[in-house]
Every structure is written in structure tokens, then in C-alpha cells.
Amino acid sequence: MRVLGVDPGLTRCGLGVVEGRPGRASLIAVGVVRTPADAELGARLVELERHFEAWLDLHEPDAVAVERVFAQHNVRTVMGTAQAGAVAITAAARRGIPVTLHTPSEVKAAVTGSGRADKAQVGLMVSRILRLAELPKPADAADALALAICHAWRAPALALRR
């Protein structure tokens, strides 16, 4: 199964594609889309959509995994994250690609064994799982790969529940 993981954000949005099945995953691509904080919101969302569409065209994922927005104290950050995630969800849905939302603790538990792992632990495990020579940077890139790994590993069990 080929999965596009999306760690949504307006300033930095991580994208990672893995080919995987439970217990195994290999890196296809990883990157980060950046938009300027001083740009108009609509222009930033259009730029994100352009990149999502290009990644969907290039990598042809079977599924898209997006980090579920969780409550934070900074409402502005939550709104930007939710807006970026919604653009990714819409781009995938327009093509009929299934989208699953995963919480940060689900992703951490899938790749590290602990839902309370920190970003450094997640990055280290992503690099080990994918047999990378170095940690994916920035953290948004590692998080996107972790999302894709989580989904590739959990998809068969999730399908049984439906």
C-alpha cells in the first residue's frame, strides 16, 4: 500500500510517501511545503493545494493519512493546521482517494510503541524503520512519514472494523 502522510501546517506542511504493509515500510519521497507567514491566507491555501495535487499526481497513493487536529492553547495555530489539513483532504477526496485522520498519540504509538513519545523519538524510529542514514528534517517531514507508516501498518485492522 502506498500512503501519502500529511503533517498539516500553514507555514510548514510535511509530506511523506511510503510503500508499506504491517511491520514493513520503505521511503518513496519526503518533503516540506512552506508558505510565507505574511502572505494572504487564500494564497497560502492555494499554494498548499498546488503542492498536494502535484504529490498526488507524481506518487499516486492508495491512501492519504492526515494528522487529526487536537486542542491547543493557540487558536490561530489550530485554525491554520485545520485549514491546511482540509485542503489535503479535499484534494484527495476529489480523486476518490481514501483519507484517514490519525491522532498524534496513535502515530507515536504505531512507530515508537509509546503514545507519549517526543518528536526526537519519533524521528529516530522513522529513520530506523525506513533504514535512513540520517533523521528526516525538519520535524514536519519526519511526522509526515510517521503518519504514512502508521496508516500503512494499521490499514488492514482498520478495514476489518468498517
What would the CATH number be for the domain defined by 2-161?
A: 3.30.420.10
Q: Is 67 a catalytic residue?
A: yes
> pLDDT digit string (tens) for 59-68?
999 999 999 9
Q: Is the pLDDT of residue 15 over 80?
A: yes
Contact between 87 and 45 under an 8 Å Cβ cutoff? The reply is yes
Residue 73 has pLDDT above 80, yes or no: no
Residue 162 has pLDDT above 90, yes or no: no
> Contact, 17 vs 5, CB < 8 A?
yes
Q: How far apart are CA 106 and CA 128, in angstroms?
A: 18
Please indicate whether residue 62 is annotated as part of the active site.
Answer: no
Query: Is it the case that residue 55 has pLDDT exceeding 70?
Result: yes
Residue of 7, 47, 106, 143 marked active site: 7
> Which residue in 47, 106, 140, 143 is the catalytic one?
140
- What pTM, to 2 d.p., does this model score? 0.95
User: What does the pLDDT read at residue 160?
Assistant: 67
- For the chain, domain boundaries: 2-161
**Strand order across the 24-34 sheet:** 24-34, 12-21, 2-7, 63-67, 99-102
Torsion angles phi and psi, residue 72, rounded to 5 = -130, 170
Q: Is 140 a catalytic residue?
A: yes
